[in-house]
Amino acid sequence: MDRSRCENCIVRQFNSLRALSKEELKKVSDSKTSKTIKKGQPLFEEGEKLNGVYCVRDGVSKLSKLSANGKDQIVKLASKGEVMGQRSVIAEEHSNLSAVAVSDMEVCFIPKDSITTSLQKNPNFTLEVLRHMAHDLKEADDVIVNMSQKTVKQRIAEAFLYLKNNFGEDGDGFLALTLSREDIANVVGTATESAIRIISEFKKKGLIHTSGKKIGIEDERKLRDLAEGF
């Protein structure tokens, strides 16, 4: 079985491409190109015109937006199965976000033509994309509320729980996705020093343990209570 073909790609099960017909999928597969992206490399930049979407086969990318004060706000972390750049292609706008790999990645670039024609002809696919976007919008609403109503401490606690739930742990009990302290700060929207300070505090309190950049969750219950505001 040729795993480089979309038809045989497991990742597809997780995203809206599964609603494509056999013929459509064949067309997509014929037009796509595979890319390997090293950790730290950009996939696309804010303001760039996207000629297609990126389907993540492996690895994780941060989607961020530069704010006026020069800091990057990470809006989302996209991993296996997620399609990046959909929003911009659908709205026919330049990208509002930058995408940079936070781990080595394997992605497929799908030119927008095959996407847009399917969007116009296959209601099932369009509806599937719509459902995904509805979900993303809900998540975005939740992020807005968390950002504006929770303290930095709560947001960091929540971020660790999020990382565990979405990316899991390695064999040694550390979070499988290792982010730099700066990236963690940019996820929760705070200064790097503040993030580091709170991480130290969590460590002292036995909520987490660390080894270099790696972070492991020690007391999930307490972390959750903290995130909820108790």
Partner DNA sequence: GTAATACTATGATAATTATCAGCTTTTACC
Partner DNA sequence: GGTAAAAGCTGATAATTATCATAGTATTAC
How far is the C-alpha of 204 from the C-alpha of 200, rounded, in Å? 6
How far is the C-alpha of 161 from the C-alpha of 175, rounded, in Å? 10
Strands 83-84 and 52-58, sheet pairing: antiparallel
Q: Which of residues 148-177 bind its own copies (CB under 8 A)?
A: 148-150
If the CB atoms of residues 58 and 182 are measured against its own copies, the closer one turns out to be 182
Q: Which of 87, 112, 153, 164 binds DNA (CB under 7 A)?
A: 153
Q: At what angle do helices 152-167 and 192-204 cross, to 10 degrees?
A: 80
How far is the C-alpha of 30 from the C-alpha of 206, rounded, in Å? 52
How far is the C-alpha of 98 from the C-alpha of 76, rounded, in Å? 11
**Interaction between residue 1 and its own copies (CB under 8 A):** no
Nearest-Å Rg of the Cα atoms of the chain is: 19
Q: Which of 1, 13, 23, 68 binds its own copies (CB under 8 A)?
A: 68
Q: Which of 41, 130, 181, 224 binds its own copies (CB under 8 A)?
A: 130
If the CB atoms of residues 4 and 96 are measured against its own copies, the closer one turns out to be 96
Give me the residues paired with residue 54 across strands: 84, 109
If the CB atoms of residues 22 and 204 are measured against DNA, the closer one turns out to be 204
Q: Which of residues 73-102 bind its own copies (CB under 8 A)?
A: 73, 75, 86-87, 90-91, 93, 96-97
Residue 43's CB: how many other CB atoms inside 10 A?
A: 23
Q: Which of 28, 100, 108, 129 binds its own copies (CB under 8 A)?
A: 129
**Interaction between residue 39 and its own copies (CB under 8 A):** no
Distances in Å between the Cα of 204 and the Cα atoms of 197, 200, 201, 228 are: 11, 6, 5, 20
Q: Which of 142, 201, 220, 225 binds its own copies (CB under 8 A)?
A: 142
Q: Which residue ranges make up the site for DNA (CB under 7 A)?
A: 69, 151-153, 180-182, 189-194, 196-197, 199-200, 210, 212-213
Which positions touch its own copies (CB under 8 A)? 65, 67-69, 71, 73, 75, 86-87, 90-91, 93, 96-97, 119-124, 126-127, 129-131, 133-138, 140-150, 188-190, 228-229
